[in-house]
Structure 1
């Protein structure tokens, strides 16, 4: 199951409010990069699609497509301080997660 930490949910809700997105629906995706075989994450506000997995989190709804679901199994999205004063979104865990996988481009944070 994919989970969201309270700090991540708070940051997503804050970003949604700044964009006047109302009740935020955050699409989280993952894929294997064909060039180097690394796991790449992505996220952004979206609308629900017919076959999405919908996870109601604290203050935010997470949407995951069936193609991304196996790659996001046992993964947690966190918003943490990676260096003094520098906060980023971080995908943690997951049996398929290479140590330096990254690549999200939304909600005011990065990935590592």
Structure 2
């Protein structure tokens, strides 16, 4: 199951409130893929519309969209918003890394797995 820390949920809710009012509450899409060039697990996220086969996860009151392709790669992953250097905060993906052992790696979105 994919999860958010309270800090990440708060930051995402804040960003959703800043989105242009074009309809219902923005939903955050979280994605993961294995980079074919180096086998690194790469993460991405952004506000998007729900698609037919998406898994919708309520994580701390924040609706998260995950495509079928990303679901196994995001299993047991937690998205955090943490201080990575004094005064510098970033989203960080923790845990998970359900890529095949030969393809494990972490990165993207200013974070990675721990």
TM-score grouping bracket, smaller chain normalisation:
0.7 to 0.9
Q: 1:12/1:80 Cα in 2 relative to 1: closer, same or farther (>3 Å)?
A: same
How far has the Cα of 1:79 moved from its partner? 0.3
**Structure 2 residue 8 is matched with structure 1 residue 3:** no
Offset of 1:20 from its aligned partner?
A: 3.1
RMSD between superposed Cα atoms in Å: 1.6
Alignment-derived partner of residue 108 in structure 2? 103
Aligned to 1:107: none
User: Highest Rg: 1 or 2?
Assistant: 2
TM-superposed deviation, 1:28: 0.3
Distance 2:35 2:72 in 1: 15
Residue by residue over 1:51-102, the C-alpha shift from the partner in whole angstroms, topping out at 9 and shown as x without a partner, is 1110012231000000000100100000011111110100000143746x22
Give unmatched runs, 5+ long, in structure 1: 105-109
Q: TM-score under structure 2 normalisation?
A: 0.84
Indicate if the aligned counterparts of 1:23 and 1:59 stay in contact, CA closer than 8 A. Answer: no
| TM, length-normalised to structure 1 | 0.86
Structure 2 unaligned spans of 5+: none
Which stretches of structure 1, 4 residues or more, deviate above 4 A after TM superposition? none
Residue 12 of structure 1 contacts residue 24 of structure 1 at CA under 8 Å; is this kept in 2? Answer: no
